[in-house]
Structure 1
Amino acid sequence: MKLNQYEEIKQGEKGAWVSIGAYLALSALKLGAGYWFVSGALVADGFNNLTDIVASAAVLIGLRISQKPPDKDHPYGHFRAETIAALIASFIMATVGIQVLIGAVKSLFNSEHQIPNLNSAWVALFAAVCMGGVYIYNRRLALRINNQALLAAAKDNLSDALVSIGAAIGIIGAQFGLPWLDPVAALAVGVIICKTAWEIFYSSTHALTDGFDENELSSLRTTIAKTKGVKAIKDIKARVHGSHVLVDVIVQVDPELSLIESHQISDEIEHRMGRKHNIMSVHVHVEPQEDVENSEIMSTEKH
């Protein structure tokens, strides 16, 4: 049975809780192991996970707010809280990415390198595997329920897995007298995190400013144009509202059609958009098709 939009958001909360639980457990493990095995990289990774709890909490709050039904101030509902949560997550990811880059640059110019216990590398790799599993779970769930906030959280999970791998590389490299591996790996991870944060930031701000992909809009136009009874499309607009798309379209039909027949065309457009594009909110305005010959005659008379 297909879930409705509020049930889908409720499902998304599971992913946010999984992230929070994983970050709490792994941050405690990394901080404890980092201090025990004298690994600065593992300690830094543990503090990184503590900040990620804030990002996951922001996603969870956004999902909770988006479940509120429409009211006088929000006639379309509160779904954009998801997008705002994703935007907040991008800021936190960017902060972590910049911190990783700064730390990597400092390490490159640091002549003193303390060799940590090799066991700290296994802890980092174990954490990377765990976060990889959380990433796969959240990504699959986000794609299944089409939730942008949870997808942003999943990308954050992947970034944390990469940070742990970078920490492990640095620790292992130190065992073989290659301390430069740590900052080089950290630089690569920092760039990946910042790139991911920028992608989430761009998509979130694009949606919040009512931007919409031109190729997707063209696909929606094609579906409507192929609907039986539609003679022409006068105008079409679309915008993203959380994880949902709102479409406004003006179609022209045969002027001889009755009101009931025109309404049936409108219903068919809504049905096709929901079935093919999973768009459930379509506002269709029906107009009679203009008489091209008469329009040309009137234009000639004006001149």
Structure 2
Amino acid sequence: MKRYEELKKGESGAWLSIGAYIFLAAVKLTIGYLFFSQALVADGYNNASDIIISIAVLIGLRISQKPPDKDHPYGHFRAEHISALLAAFLMAIIGIQVLIEAGTTLLSANETEAPSMVAAWTAAGGTVIMFFVYRYNKQLAQKINSQALAAAAQDNKNDALVSLGALIGIIASHFHLGWLDSLTALLIGLIICYTAWTIFRDATHSLTDGFDEKTLEGYRNTIEENEQVHLLKMVKARQVGSSIYADVTIEVKPTLTVKDSHDIADQIERDLRTKHNILHTTVHIEPKKEDK
């Protein structure tokens, strides 16, 4: 039940992101269009796309909290990955749209006018707000060990940097370099597309049961610390939402009783849960092979 309670706590971070993004997207798009700043408009669209990500994280957290049922005996933790994939596709569409608009302006022969400093102050405010949202979600993600929320926090940090870039572009355009505003918008579009790609890559990696080899090495070291384990034959793991499931095969003395073997398996499960926060471990025990 602890894992479900942690997922519930993670909702506060998703709601905070949604509220911040709705506010910033509305303000930046309004100011950007009124004061002719393509960089700020692009930043606003970036925040609008982030609303989708935050909603996807929230939906994923909500569905993941559903307990196992007849059709889902392992629970619903993979819902986080599915929602992340949908968010990645929508983000890519928005990013491509920003690239097209910014690229068209850059390639046109028309001289672009430097946007008002109101746009610069708006970008500065967005930078500060997203930095504090990032700090909150990062700390919450570490507290509840949520990879989905950690990814959202990373996205919050990227948004703070995007707003900072928009601020720099707007200010630079006042030094008779109006095209820098459009160039900044182009770079923001690239950042949106790149973020969409990284979310897609990570989600598909988890959905196809990909797992980090260095992390597995840590699991091996923990298991091999158990003196009752004669040989660690295999350890595998997969990411299911924010949770980890592991499969372990070990060899022990053939003279051990069933109870003793069961106690060893229980100890391995506890060690992996305590040291690596693995939700569920299946331990298969085999007798030590006799030396020939």
User: What TM-score results when the alignment is normalised by the length of structure 2?
Assistant: 0.91
Structural mapping, 1:85-124, within 5 Å? 85-112=83-110, 113-124=112-123
Per the alignment, residue 52 of structure 2 pairs with: 54
Shift of 1:35: 4.1
Change (3 A) 1:93 1:6: same
The 8 Å contact of residues 89 and 153 in structure 1, kept in 2 or not, is answered as: no
Shift of 1:56: 1.5
Matches within 5 A, 1:1-303: 4-112=2-110, 113-293=112-292
Q: 2:40–2:185: 8 Å Cα contact kept in structure 1?
A: no
- Residues of 2 paired with 1:148 and 1:142: CA distance? 7
Q: Deviation at 1:229?
A: 0.8
Q: Residue 298 of structure 1 corresponds to which residue in structure 2?
A: none
Q: Which has the bigger relative contact order, CA under 8 A and spacing at least 6? A: 2
Structure 1 residue 188 displacement after superposition: 3.5
> Equivalents in 1 of 2:185, 2:120: separation in Å?
14
In structure 1, list runs of 5 or more residues that go unmatched: 294-303
| Per-residue CA distance 1:49-99 (angstroms, 9 max, x = gap) | 333322211211111000000001111110111122222333333333333
Q: Secondary structure at the match of 1:247?
A: strand
Return 5+ residue gaps in structure 2 as ranges: none
Q: Is the 8 A contact 1:228 1:265 kept in 2?
A: no
Go from structure 1 to structure 2 and tell me whether the alpha carbon gap of 1:147 and 1:154 turns closer, same or farther (over 3 Å shift).
same
Mapped to 2, the partners of 1:244 and 1:283 lie a distance apart of 14
Contact 2:49–2:91 at 8 Å: present in 1 too? no
State the alpha-carbon separation in 1 of the partners of residues 39 and 216 from structure 2.
Answer: 46
Indicate how the Cα distance of structure 1 residues 96 and 153 shifts in structure 2: closer, same or farther if over 3 A, else same: farther
CA 1:87–1:161 in 2, change beyond 3 Å: closer, same or farther? same
Change (3 A) 1:94 1:32: closer
Separation in structure 2 between the aligned mates of residue 42 and residue 185 of structure 1, nearest angstrom: 9
Describe the SS at the equivalent of 2:130: helix
The one-letter code of the counterpart of 1:107 is T
Q: Deviations over 1:111-145 (max 9, x none)?
A: 32133211111111111211122122222222322
State the aligned residue count: 291
How far 1:40 sits from its partner (Å)?
Answer: 4.0
**Alignment check: 8 A CA contact 1:139 1:154 kept:** yes
**What's the counterpart of residue 301 of structure 1?**
none
Q: Secondary structure at the match of 1:116?
A: coil
Task: Note closer, same or farther for the CA distance 1:208–1:250 as it changes in structure 2 (3 Å cut).
Answer: same
1:104–1:186 Cα contact (<8 Å) kept: yes
For the structure 1 residues 108 and 35, does the alpha-carbon distance in structure 2 shift closer, same or farther, using more than 3 Å as the test?
closer
Q: Could you tell me how far apart the structure 1 residues matched to 2:202 and 2:48 are?
A: 25
Distance in 1 (CA, whole Å) between partners of 2:259 and 2:42 is: 67
Check 1:196–1:45 CA distance in 2 against 1; reply closer, same or farther (3 A cut): closer
